[in-house]
Structure 1
Amino acid sequence: MLIIRPIETNDYPALYQIAQDSGIGFTSLPVNEELLKNKIAESIKAFNSNPQRAGEQSYLLVMEDTQTGEVVGTSGIEATVGLQDAFYHYHVGKVVHASRELNVHNTVDILTFCNDYSGVSEICTLFLQEKARKGLAGRLLSKCRFLFMAQHQQRFADIVIAEMRGVSDERGKSPFWEWLEDHFFSVDFPTADYLTGIGNKVFIAELMPKYPIYVNLLSKAAQNCIGQVHDKTLPALRMLEKEGFKCRGYVDIFDAGPTVEADVSNIATVRQSHEASVEISTNTELDDCDEHFIINSEVASFRACIGRIKILDNNKVAISEKLAKALLVKEGATIRYAHNSLQHY
């Protein structure tokens, strides 16, 4: 069985391997021992905190195969972004150059440097090892975050975003960054990406052009990258779009990948989720029941998995002993669940 749980100190080797496997452009997991260990420590601190409003907590989850004990994926939530360190984006807008006298009217796209998403929550760090990319594993890794946010709303902002990896090749070559590098930075994309991942963002403020950039002045290759995602990121983007996430014209300052956003209360999994108290059953009829994405109602001992439940009267559900054990719940405990409906996919 695959379960989702908070990361632990002894998960460091697995997290380091994931950081290596995720490749260039996966900014939230740079291959840096000190930073990765700090991420684990900050996550443990967050899961043991009791905030009454969204703060600077950073929650990092791992997917574990209970048969082997192996960690095969990660998924994370930042309670807020941009409150301590600047959080940069480009916003794609338009300006009009017009002259009645000359009968000229030109609309031009521009990129404006901004910090508009400061204070929102962010889902991030989703990576699933290739050997585990089957069945519902990817959806569980994504959806468990929405169920956690629904269950513990006071810990998060009303708006949540996701930064999608933009276009780059296997060597980390980004056409969009190449243009910026040539004109402003003189630092290649892997280096810039790594520096940002370890929290060194000062160079961005120092070197990034402060005035809007006219898109038509960029190279054609750079223009074509704006708002586009990496091939390996496309399934994740499609999944988020089905949940109700939309791009409002904000793109990453390094690779121009889109940032998508949603009101937490309008996310499909949140809207369609339900709370219920548990009855533990040995009834084999559960084998014929539908599969659901399920979480317990805990924080420090959070668990999520996929399982079959039988919906009963009086806001109760029946689950198997095996599922109760995986979720760390006892008779009468509260769970939150969302149906594995294919209608949104």
Structure 2
Amino acid sequence: MTDLAMGVAPAAQPRRLRAALSFRNVSALYIFAFLFVLFALWVPDTFLTAGVWRSLLANSALTALVAIAVTIPLAAGTFNLAVGTEVGMAAIVSAWLLESFHLSVVPTLVLTLLAGCAIGGVSGALIVRARIDSFIATLGMSSVLLALVAWISGGQQILNLPGSFQSLATNELLGLAYPVWIMLAVGLVVWYVLQRTPTGRRVYATGGNVSAARLAGVRTSRVIVLSLVSCGAIAALAGLLTSAQLAVGDPTVGPGYLLPAYAAAFLGSTQFHGGRYNVWGAVIAVLVLAVGVKGLQLAGAPVWIPDLFNGVALLLAVGLSKYQRTARRSAAVARLLRRGEPRS
């Protein structure tokens, strides 16, 4: 028995390694390497400078936070189309609290995060209590939030934010801006919860088959609500950091995060875990998209390139994720049929 196990294990290890390094499993890493080499040769004088990469990472950190946020409800089988306006709402609320009420940074942070949780809770209640489809519920919530943003801001930027607040986004640690470290910390926590705890297993079970999960004893309504609350809190953090980075409360910034966040989440679902929404896949996908957009901008591409690039990436990511799920189901059916074949 020991000899058999020793004989199988070395043979299995190369197969597992090849599968782990296959293009299907880590295509984003290969695409990143290709884009890096391409732009390093095309625009080396600008693309390879430290300043460009520090700026790219700092800006990408905020998009990555939003991508991590949407990964949670997606893993639970729920869409949150209000995530962009949740970011915008937090950006305005944080600036409003600082400028109009003269609060310090810590109370502003706490109240902004609580506002994000409340928005996620309302969206969750509309889905699980009012039985409204997540597309419709969160789309309606997005419109409500846009109205609130316009009402609070008066359609104008909120200026004169304190320097201590701006330092949240501008200060650096070990050469990287604080938002990068905050994103990594949030990503680590969300990854651990989703991948290493019973709560994460319940989230994925709900997203895989809500009826089966309910029959297995999972409180699916609670899972959906908490996934949206978590999404709202992380989106609120991204919005607050956006205002700190811009040094103003801008009522127009939020919706721009929706498309790249979902493109990254869907592309990330094809990485590392083969069709399962996961944190680090989404983060790597954000970096790939950011490198592609930044490289094209440095090469003199038109201003509409980011929208085109993110839109095409979203379509390709959704198509690839659907293909991988279909391929896995086909492989599972084939295995079942082989098991059922009579032995000669």
TM-score normalised by L of structure 1: 0.24
Q: Which one has the bigger strand percentage?
A: 1
Q: Which one has the bigger helix percentage?
A: 2
Q: Which structure exhibits the higher relative contact order, with contacts defined as CA atoms closer than 8 Å and separated by 6 or more residues? A: 2
TM-score normalised by L of structure 2: 0.24
